[in-house]
Structure 1
Amino acid sequence: MLSSSEKKTADMRGAYGDALVELGKTDPRIICVGGDTTDSLKTKKFGDKYPERMFNVGIAEANLVSIAAGLAIAGKISFASTYATFIPGRAVDQIRNAICYPALNVKLVVSHGGLTVGPDGASHQQIEDLSTTRAMPNMRVIVPADAVAVKHLIKIIAETPGPFYARLARPATELVYAESTPAEQFKVGRGNVLVDGSDATIIACGLMVGKALEAAAALKREKGMSVRVVDMFTVKPVDAELVGKCGRETGAIATAEEHNIIGGLGAAVSEAAGETYPVPIRRVGVRDTFGESARDEEVDTLLEQYGLTATEIAKAVLEARSRIRK
């Protein structure tokens, strides 16, 4: 994990494009299917390098998913990419029946998840995708915290047979991992403890991991609290063993995600805690409402308006702690 003096930002989409290019060098089975968003998703990097393995099918997302499935049947490792509002939004039936049911080797890697899409507004702010994909049998759901995690996780899902849904953020996001972080630190189904603590736990995913670290630092500085921070980049299968361990050792949990609190990370953690070691849990996320448009420079204000801040996470920790039965 980076120290506070080393903080910088990087683009997850750029890391995705670079990872695909690297994978394509050694594995000719890697192909990419896009939906007229290849510049934005940075998959154009792969297409420029390997044009015979890049298929831009235009604004036809259901077709995009079905083509990726067909190529997987033919032995390819299919990466299918566009915005999160379109996949899974416009292709739920195809994802369910053409990819998950036969458990095909298709990797759905999308960007523009959550509220930070900005000016495109509620129609493009995908806040229910984790719930949708979590509920599909055979699907694994990944939400990287930063560009370093993206680099390693894209390689891992390429090497792991079966369907994956990976959700990237639109804006450049704070790096929480050092660039030298080894690939071995990332395992599907296992969370990473970034900061240890004994008074409470924050479990976060995506760009909310950086805000979770800020909240833990503020609670230590202002309240003298020792708060554990977990990057739960695998939302499904969630690391139930780690959730139970955090419950037993810290007594209270707050979750943080750029997603509806219904069906996403908070739900997955609550389910795992209920079956392992029940403790008070407070969820931070979009509270079952649609977002709204904001200029790029106002995205942070939008996150504040919807309670997706380090301050709100700290409040959630304190509330969860207050509900511990004596």
Structure 2
Amino acid sequence: WIFLQINGIAKEANLNIFTYEGTANQTTWLFIMAANMGFWSLLAVDIPNITRYLKAPTNEKGWFKRNKNSYIPHLLALPTVQTFMGVIGAVSFLATGNWNPIEVVQEITTGWLMVVILLMVVLAQWSTNSAANLIPASLTFVNAGAKWNFSYAWGIVLAGVIGTLFQPWAILDQLSNFLGYYGATMSALAGVMICDYYIIRKRRLNVKDLYNPKGQYHYNKGVNWAGMIAWLVASAVAVYFLEYMYLVGFPLAVALYYGLMKFWYLKKYPQAEVESKFSDDYLGTSADRDWVIIPELENETAEALNKDRVVTTSNS
């Protein structure tokens, strides 16, 4: 409906948006899409916090079948809808000089239509901001405060308080620059994550060591310097090519991280799933295995085994 309204304004200005040809001084379509990728970059790297609640079929190793409950909604929701949102914004800018179609439509509507628009704005903030801004920050606080059973509700409160203290309204005049730098650093982080899980480990994890502070993922005093170096270098290059940050930072981080891990860090800190030649022992439901790790039971089992060894030794 908004698109049709904006298109009507364009027609009144004798502008056909379907045959319009831009000039060299105008923003390119690729730049707009790159900017949108930067806008959604935090949600992209945090999406495992949401998708971990999805059901996956047992004994299914095929990526497409296992992840259909994840990638189908993502393809339908983000690329398709966000592209159309970009189209509406572009048409709005061409027709009126204002990239915000909501503001444009507000100027030409009255009565109940204005109520509908305001309702749409409220729902958009409720849904989009919750997913893109509140959930990542809240779950970060929940994970950091796991030792103290920090709840999700308190995570939301803390995210809201800290977000307010940082005065986000102060960056509105520089929003494009902020999202550019922000998207550049997040694009490199996404590259490291994707490379580590899909290329280095081939979707296998040593789950027990994830919960072992001194396990294989401890690396050098808790820091994986291969990942840090790849992230920092790729982020810096993405910032330098700020207009296309995600298209630069992501592939560069993948390449750097793969090289550093393959020829340096894996030799220094061997990873069980890689050393095993990617054994199915490090898979979960795709190999019909549900990981249940209860430290108290493991300790009791260890103590019982030790007692058996003592008895056996004394009897012999």
TM-score above 0.5, yes or no: no
Higher strand share: 1
- TM-score interval w.r.t. the shorter chain? under 0.3
Larger RCO, structure (CA 8 Å, separation 6 or more): 2
**Higher percent of residues as helix:** 2
TM-score, normalisation: structure 1: 0.23
